[in-house]
Amino acid sequence: MASSSVCNGNPPFTSNPFFQKPAKNQTLFKSNTPLHFTSVRHRSPLKILRSPNCRNPRNPRTDVVDPVVFYLNKIKKTEIERKDGNFSGIQEFLNLCGFGYCVQGFRCFPWLALNFHMANNLNLNPSTLQLVQYSANLPMVAKPLYGILSDALFIGGSHRLPYISIGVALQILSWGSMAFIPIAREALPILMTCVLLSNLGASITEVAKDALVAEYGQKNKINGLQSYAFMALAAGGVLANCLGGFLLLRTQKPTFMFLIFASLLSFQLVLSLKTKESSFSLPESSYHHESISSTIKKQLSDLIFAIKDDRVFQSLSWVVASYSMVPILSGSLFCYQIQILNLDPFVIGMSKVTGQLLLLAITILYNRYFKTISLRKLIKNVQILYACSLLLDLVLVKQANLKLGIPNNVYVVCISGLAEMINQFKILPFQVLFASLAPPGCEGSLMSFLASALCLSSICSGFLGVGMASCLRITSVDYSNLPAGIIIQFLAALVPVFWIHNVPASQPLDDNKKTGLSKKKRKTRRVGRVVFNMVFVYRRERESEAQR
């Protein structure tokens, strides 16, 4: 019996003559009933274990490992095996989402060509140009619908990657038509149709990607994947503006840039079709086998329940108000730079590059350092900084930079994209907050509702800017009242600071950073006393013998 227990790896303490036989109901590893050993003068009980060959019981084992070290090494090995098992899924996820967000940031590549095409070839005035820009975002207002469908309606057993593929295909159809069909880019109604179709596909793709990031992060307890998405987005924007300004200056052919972007979208479509969603091991919906109508109703009720959360509702109301109440004059400033200051496309593109590089840098800083700052304090400082950055356009319009010896092209490259960068960064903390507060199965709906609300507020801001430009009579031949519009922007951007208390004070923390343990947990973490209490009992007996 003793030999078989040793060979099978079971504890030999019950059959060893140097130990007293424990009680019948006494367990070996129970911390509140420690075992008591008989006195042993010259030999440790841990070294009386039988040898591996189980033939000579008097030969002590010399390869005994410290039980605490063995226990910790076993945990470490299990953790490494768990990580290695999920490595393929993580790699595919990073490739798909990283490239997808890079393409999303690369969308400013064809839009830069389209803006110059509408201003120079179609001769649109600033208000009409801005109206086209912001009207094209109307399909993005319906993002909650796409999110509900993505959460509830499974296509081929998947509910994220099929929607990414559908959205990418719609974008290929739109930009490919503008590249190959002349009337699609010359007639304004058909051009608007293509742009609306492109933004419809982009909104579906963005909803599916945001939901995939939130769902994957919750499953693997990785908080802050939105920072990775923001960095990929900024990297794509840097590359797009850099290449876009250079190619537009060299070729003067917007159609060539439309074709390049359509080719890039084709590669993304192949990647999304090749990737299997089952490799991510996402949790399945609890009612995706039910009818579509009942499933949509349940998803809608879950979304309403999530929005009713105080932190979600108050944060959402603040961020929507902070965007919608600031009148944007992007069309007027763009036409002023290319018509009055005669800046070439490369300078305009490099100004966007500077903004995207700053966005990438500040996103890395946020991911490393700014997460420990109070969310309310961070957003307040960002909003004040954004309001002050709007006044930098006033320096350009008044030509005060020339008095300081700074040329217009240098000033535009270094300063012009600062306000837009800060305005984009303000979204990131709220995305991280909403991703952590999203209930399971409602990630796509809640994240898409946030994106839709931000898009709607941006459209309201753009239309408000068009109305203000009309009231101030800012046209392509008269920019005398543009400084007054910039000052109104600055004052409107400061107003949301007065109800900053609606923003939560704390930020969501990573699960692996929550290291605070209670006294009870710290006590039970003493492995030697809980699991290997016989070692401490033996030491106490040796110490008592030494005192005798």
Asked whether residue 446 is domain-assigned, the answer is: yes
Residue 32: pLDDT band (50, 70, 90) is very low
Mean of all residue pLDDT scores within the chain: 77
User: How many domains does the chain contain in total?
Assistant: 2
What b-and-e string marks burial along 295-315, b requiring 16 or more CB atoms within 10 Å of the CB? bbebbeebbeebbeeebbeeb
Same structural domain for residues 232 and 311? no
Residue 447: pLDDT band (50, 70, 90) is confident
Q: Considering only the C-alpha atoms of the chain, give the largest distance between any 2 of them, rounded to a whole number of Å.
A: 105
Categorise residue 370: left if φ over 0, alpha if ψ from -120 to 50, beta otherwise: alpha
pTM of the model: 0.64
Strand positions, DSSP E, 181-312? none
User: Is the separation of the CB atoms in 416 and 396 below 8 Å?
Assistant: yes
Q: What is the pLDDT of residue 84?
A: 46
What b-and-e string marks burial along 449-471, b requiring 16 or more CB atoms within 10 Å of the CB? bbbbbbbbbbbbbbbbbbebbee
User: Taking 60 as the threshold, does the pLDDT of residue 237 lie above it?
Assistant: yes
Distance CA 130, CA 124 (A): 9
Q: What is the pLDDT of residue 130?
A: 87
The least confident of 39-43, 348-352, 439-443 is 39-43
Same structural domain for residues 104 and 201? yes
Same structural domain for residues 411 and 341? yes
Interval 36-55 mean pLDDT: 46
158 secondary structure, DSSP code: B
- Percent of the chain past pLDDT 70, that is, above it, reads 74
Q: pLDDT digits over 160-201, tens only?
A: 889 999 999 999 999 999 999 989 888 888 999 999 999 999
Q: Residue 89: name the closest of 229, 284, 277, 285 by CA.
A: 277
Where is pLDDT greater, at 518 or 218?
218
CA 207 to chain centre: 12
Residue 66: pLDDT band (50, 70, 90) is low
To 10 degrees, the CA torsion angle through 279, 105, 500, 461?
-130
Q: Exposed (0-12), middle (13-18) or buried (19+): which is 85, by Cβ within 10 Å?
A: exposed
User: Taking 80 as the threshold, does the pLDDT of residue 9 lie above it?
Assistant: no
Distance CA 148, CA 164 (A): 14
Q: What is the pLDDT of residue 383?
A: 93
Q: What is the pLDDT of residue 201?
A: 94
Phi/psi at 181 (nearest 5 deg)?
Answer: -110, 115
Residue 223: pLDDT band (50, 70, 90) is low
User: Is the separation of the CB atoms in 20 and 38 below 8 Å?
Assistant: yes
The least confident of 59-73, 206-220, 305-319, 393-407 is 59-73
Residue 110: pLDDT band (50, 70, 90) is very high
- Percent of the chain past pLDDT 90, that is, above it, reads 23
Interval 290-301 mean pLDDT: 76
Same structural domain for residues 211 and 171? yes
Q: Which of 245, 279, 313 is the last residue of a domain?
A: 279
Q: What is the pLDDT of residue 464?
A: 92
Asked whether residue 80 is domain-assigned, the answer is: no
User: Taking 70 as the threshold, does the pLDDT of residue 463 lie above it?
Assistant: yes
Interval 379-398 mean pLDDT: 92
CA 245 to chain centre: 28
Same structural domain for residues 242 and 358? no
User: Is the separation of the CB atoms in 203 and 459 below 8 Å?
Assistant: no
How many Cβ atoms sit within 10 Å of the Cβ of residue 90?
A: 15
Same structural domain for residues 347 and 233? no
Asked whether residue 107 is domain-assigned, the answer is: yes
The least confident of 41-45, 97-101, 416-420 is 41-45
Distance CA 15, CA 17 (A): 6
Asked whether residue 25 is domain-assigned, the answer is: no
Asked whether residue 172 is domain-assigned, the answer is: yes
Name, in order, each residue with C-beta under 8 angstroms of 30's C-beta and a sequence gap of 6 or more: none
Q: What is the pLDDT of residue 26?
A: 47
- Domain containing 105: what range? 88-279
Q: What is the pLDDT of residue 71?
A: 55
Phi/psi at 11 (nearest 5 deg)?
Answer: -65, 130
Distance CA 41, CA 461 (A): 86
Residue 298: pLDDT band (50, 70, 90) is confident
Residue 300: pLDDT band (50, 70, 90) is confident
Interval 358-377 mean pLDDT: 84
User: Could you tell me the CATH number of the domain that includes residue 435?
Assistant: 1.20.1250.20
Where is pLDDT greater, at 94 or 469?
469
Q: What is the pLDDT of residue 28?
A: 43
CA 468 to chain centre: 35
Asked whether residue 234 is domain-assigned, the answer is: yes
Q: What is the pLDDT of residue 58?
A: 54
Q: Which amino acid is at 135?
A: S
Same structural domain for residues 359 and 233? no
Q: Which amino acid is at 385?
A: L
Asked whether residue 1 is domain-assigned, the answer is: no
Distance CA 405, CA 1 (A): 95
Same structural domain for residues 266 and 313? no
User: Taking 70 as the threshold, does the pLDDT of residue 21 lie above it?
Assistant: no
Q: What is the pLDDT of residue 520?
A: 43
Q: What is the pLDDT of residue 73?
A: 64
Interval 293-308 mean pLDDT: 82
Tokens 């990737």 found at: 275
What b-and-e string marks burial along 117-150, b requiring 16 or more CB atoms within 10 Å of the CB? bbbeeeebbbbbbbbbbbbbbebbbbbbbbbbbb
Residue 483: pLDDT band (50, 70, 90) is very high
The least confident of 224-228, 300-304, 416-420 is 224-228
Same structural domain for residues 227 and 321? no
Q: What is the pLDDT of residue 302?
A: 82
Tokens 């590893």 found at: 29
Same structural domain for residues 251 and 329? no
User: Taking 70 as the threshold, does the pLDDT of residue 528 lie above it?
Assistant: no
Same structural domain for residues 144 and 198? yes
User: Taking 70 as the threshold, does the pLDDT of residue 67 lie above it?
Assistant: no
Q: What is the pLDDT of residue 359?
A: 82
Residue 531: pLDDT band (50, 70, 90) is very low
Interval 1-10 mean pLDDT: 41
Same structural domain for residues 234 and 312? no
